[in-house]
Amino acid sequence: MRAIRTGPFFSSTRKVTRRKRRKRDKPRRSGGGGGGEGAINWRGSLTRRTRTTWTETKTTTPTMTSTTMTTNPPTVSPRGEGPLIYVLNLVNTKHDKTVKRGAIVKSMAICTRHPFLHIYKPLLLLALEEYLKAPVPETLSALYDSVNAMDLSLMPRLSLLERHLLQASDNRDLFVEKFEQMIQMRMAEDENETAPASAVEGSFSPTKRAGISRTGTRAQVEGGQTVYSVPRDTHEFETKIVYKGIPVPVKVPTAVMPETVGDFSLIKLIQNFSDTHTKNPLPFPLHAHLTTNGTHTHPIIVLVNGLLTQKRIIFLGYNMPSGDVAEAVLAACALASGGLLRGFTRHAFPYTDLTKIDDLLNVPGFIAGVTNPAFEHHSEWWDILCDLPSGRVKISPKIEAAPATEGLVYFQQQNPSLATLASGTSNNSQDLTGDSAFLNDILRSIAARHGERVIRAKWRQWILKLTRIAAQFEESVYGASALYIGSEDRELTLPGASGHGYVWPDDAAKHKELAGNVTRIEGWRNTRSYYSYIQDLAQLYTVRPLKGLDVAHMHDRLRLQRLSPTQSRDIYLTLSKHIHSYDEICLLLSVAPENHAGLFYIALGLFHKDPEVRMKTVELLERISEHEAGQHWWRGLSRFEKLASQRIRRESDAAEAREKLAKEVMSPQPDVETRLS
């Protein structure tokens, strides 16, 4: 069966019997539908064309995983290639001594444009079980119709800023109003449809209005009227897929960011390599792009540096399920992306084998998952090997040395005292980049069970910080940066609020951090993700509010620098003057995430020595408190700050009342002629 449409579709299944495999035995192929560039099956191999590959499996029970190659669905690659198809494959092996080769293998795959393809796992289990009973095209057709009938019409469409806010927050009620708005629109449509029918039937009884409930997880029917339910957690949209009369509940992620595919865990990936490193750290050979903290650089930082500088990376999972290997590959892609950078998953091979080694080596900067230990013995095939069972990261002895670049030479000439540190060839135990402190913070969060969302949000902030530091490096060395789109509008800012880019407490801290990052930045500047990010920034600039203001720069100055009263006054007045609309407030909230002090530094304006600053800060906070998302930030302020805001507002209202009364008293009264009768 072959079906082509934008929703999920399915590849055909094939009966495969067991045979003895040779060392480089090629798997069987099916001409059935499904798959696009990068379509991969579980325990299978990557195909670079439109086809589906089938292989044997030794499992005795149905096993499933999501293995995909992907890019952000709405976008295309820098080479103009279209978005890829996400493939979820289930393989079922039944041992049967009555058949010729001892086993019957059946496989079924769902191919979709949705990156959240893990929601289809229960459907595949039911469908493959049904197919074993009735191996006819109608079984596939029923699954196809059921999956494409999934109702997502009530899921709100969030803007990019809203998605960033939702992903960075652990608040389960954030943007719940948008779900309620979608339900209210549906309820109004239902009333319009039922009203004419009631008039024709001559029914004059008032129509009972459908209600909104927060207690259920799916739509219910009470008394013939639909009761719509708001999800318990706005990070997920709750719906259902009815297959063979069985309602299967599914949870669709509300905010999906680039390079986020399937159901993976950053916590699992980080812990796998951190635990071994903590117990028995082994030094790495020095490499300018990879060991930014010297020979004892954390293995996760080595991995991320390799991804950012487009090194060839292999995840080896000997004697591990291929699904676990594929999950590690997808998690690594999301780790380096941070929801900001692209280009990793398009060149990822979540699971491959020796039969594809020639195709693999033709891909620059691949990320591949394998289970064959032969890959470890061919260090010329990879630059970084991540051994999942042992938790070790290895740098190939045959890796190419980082070339000396113009940017590195210019920086060393400008900062001769930091030339040795910037070269990356000396063993530096100082944490110039802050990577060690950042990893320690991540591990503390994991130990405190902060959850997957918090860890992903922190990694996004780290990637964002790196891109902003890279922009400052380019401006310092080359005079301009492709990562800074637009120009600063002097007319919008007061003198003390001017400036853009990343902020350091002082120049010494700036030069040290740039020296620690110079080789990593220079390695990243010649990669796919760098050029894709420039394209994304140019597109985002067209829809970005406040194009002439760097709100992040102003907020970071309040957070990091010692400012004079005049400088802080200019920043507070500039923010209050220009931040009014819904999108402008979203932009401000995005640079002041809830888990990073929230509005604390904005609220410090309530205690400024200038009364005008205090009043303008109150007005800004009041606008934020009335915002759909800002109300949650407002509730996160301390009681002391809220009382200060209320006191300033009360004093202002009292002063206005006194002034108004004084004007009325001082105004001349018209002469009243009194007549006595």
Is the pLDDT at 6 greater than 80, yes or no?
no
Is the pLDDT at 51 greater than 80, yes or no?
no
Q: Which of 67, 109, 79 is nearest to 91 (CA)?
A: 109
Give the pLDDT confidence score for residue 44 in this predicted structure: 32
Write the CB contacts of 140 (distance below 8 Å, at least 6 apart in sequence).
Answer: 1, 10, 12, 13, 108, 127, 131
Of 10-19, 251-260, 345-354, the poorest mean pLDDT is in 10-19
Model pLDDT for residues 292-329, shown as the tens digit of each residue = 988 999 999 999 999 999 999 999 999 998 889 999 99
Question: Percent of the chain having pLDDT more than 70?
Answer: 81
User: Do 498 and 376 have their domain in common?
Assistant: yes
Domain-located, residue 676: no
User: Do 600 and 633 have their domain in common?
Assistant: yes
User: Do 337 and 309 have their domain in common?
Assistant: yes
Q: Among the three residues 510, 543, 576, which one is the final residue of a domain in this structure?
A: 543
Domain-located, residue 202: no
Of 35-49, 176-190, 201-215, 414-428, the poorest mean pLDDT is in 35-49
Is the pLDDT at 676 greater than 70, yes or no?
no
User: Do 477 and 345 have their domain in common?
Assistant: yes
Q: How many CB atoms within 10 Å of residue 629? A: 23
Give the pLDDT confidence score for residue 226 in this predicted structure: 59
Give the pLDDT confidence score for residue 220 in this predicted structure: 40
Q: What angle separates helix 266-279 from helix 322-337, to the nearest 10 degrees?
A: 90
Confidence of residue 460 (pLDDT cuts 50, 70, 90): very high
Domain-located, residue 304: yes
Domain-located, residue 421: yes
Write the DSSP string, 398-467. TPPPPPP-HHHHHHHHH-GGGHHHHHS-S---S-SSSHHHHHHHHHHHHHTT--HHHHHHHHHHHHHHHH
Q: Among the three residues 497, 522, 543, which one is the final residue of a domain in this structure?
A: 543
Is the pLDDT at 368 greater than 80, yes or no?
yes
User: Do 249 and 292 have their domain in common?
Assistant: no
Is the pLDDT at 103 greater than 90, yes or no?
no
User: Do 22 and 41 have their domain in common?
Assistant: yes
Is the pLDDT at 221 greater than 60, yes or no?
no
Give the pLDDT confidence score for residue 661 in this predicted structure: 87
Domain-located, residue 427: yes
Q: Which of 51, 19, 20, 49 is nearest to 33 (CA)?
A: 51
Confidence of residue 50 (pLDDT cuts 50, 70, 90): very low
Joined tokens for residue 432: 């110039």
Model pLDDT for residues 470-491, shown as the tens digit of each residue = 999 999 999 999 999 877 666 7
Domain-located, residue 464: yes
Give the pLDDT confidence score for residue 23 in this predicted structure: 37
User: Do 491 and 445 have their domain in common?
Assistant: yes
User: Do 290 and 241 have their domain in common?
Assistant: no
Look-up of token digits 């540096």: 305
User: Do 437 and 553 have their domain in common?
Assistant: no
How many separate domains does the chain show? 4
> What strand order describes the sheet that includes 212-213?
212-213, 225-229, 220-222
Model pLDDT for residues 644-675, shown as the tens digit of each residue = 999 999 999 998 898 888 888 877 655 545 55
Give the pLDDT confidence score for residue 58 in this predicted structure: 28
Is the pLDDT at 40 greater than 60, yes or no?
no
Question: Percent of the chain having pLDDT more than 90?
Answer: 58
Q: Where are the alpha helices (DSSP H) in 230-386?
A: 266-279, 299-308, 322-337, 357-361
Exposure of 177 by Cβ count < 10 A (0-12 exposed, 13-18 middle, 19+ buried)?
A: middle
Joined tokens for residue 298: 């954390």
CB 47 within 8 A of CB 360: no
Q: Terminus-to-terminus CA distance in the chain, angstroms? A: 107
**Which of the listed ranges 72-76, 345-349, 671-675 does the model predict with the highest average pLDDT?**
345-349
Question: 248 versus 215: which is more confidently predicted?
Answer: 248
User: Do 130 and 4 have their domain in common?
Assistant: yes
Is the pLDDT at 179 greater than 80, yes or no?
yes
Q: Which of 259, 236, 9 is nearest to 120 (CA)?
A: 9
Question: 30 versus 379: which is more confidently predicted?
Answer: 379
206: left (phi over 0), alpha (psi -120 to 50) or beta: beta
Residue 163's SS3 state is helix
Domain-located, residue 227: yes
Domain-located, residue 205: no
Give the pLDDT confidence score for residue 665 in this predicted structure: 82
Confidence of residue 68 (pLDDT cuts 50, 70, 90): very low
Confidence of residue 291 (pLDDT cuts 50, 70, 90): very high
Confidence of residue 382 (pLDDT cuts 50, 70, 90): very high
pLDDT averaged over every residue in the chain:
82
User: CA 330: distance to chain centroid?
Assistant: 12
In angstroms, the CA 329 to CA 313 distance is 9
User: Do 388 and 484 have their domain in common?
Assistant: yes
Domain that holds residue 165: 160-197+210-253
Give the pLDDT confidence score for residue 571 in this predicted structure: 96
Model pLDDT for residues 388-429, shown as the tens digit of each residue = 999 999 999 999 999 888 888 888 888 888 888 787 777 777
Confidence of residue 30 (pLDDT cuts 50, 70, 90): very low
User: Do 93 and 180 have their domain in common?
Assistant: no
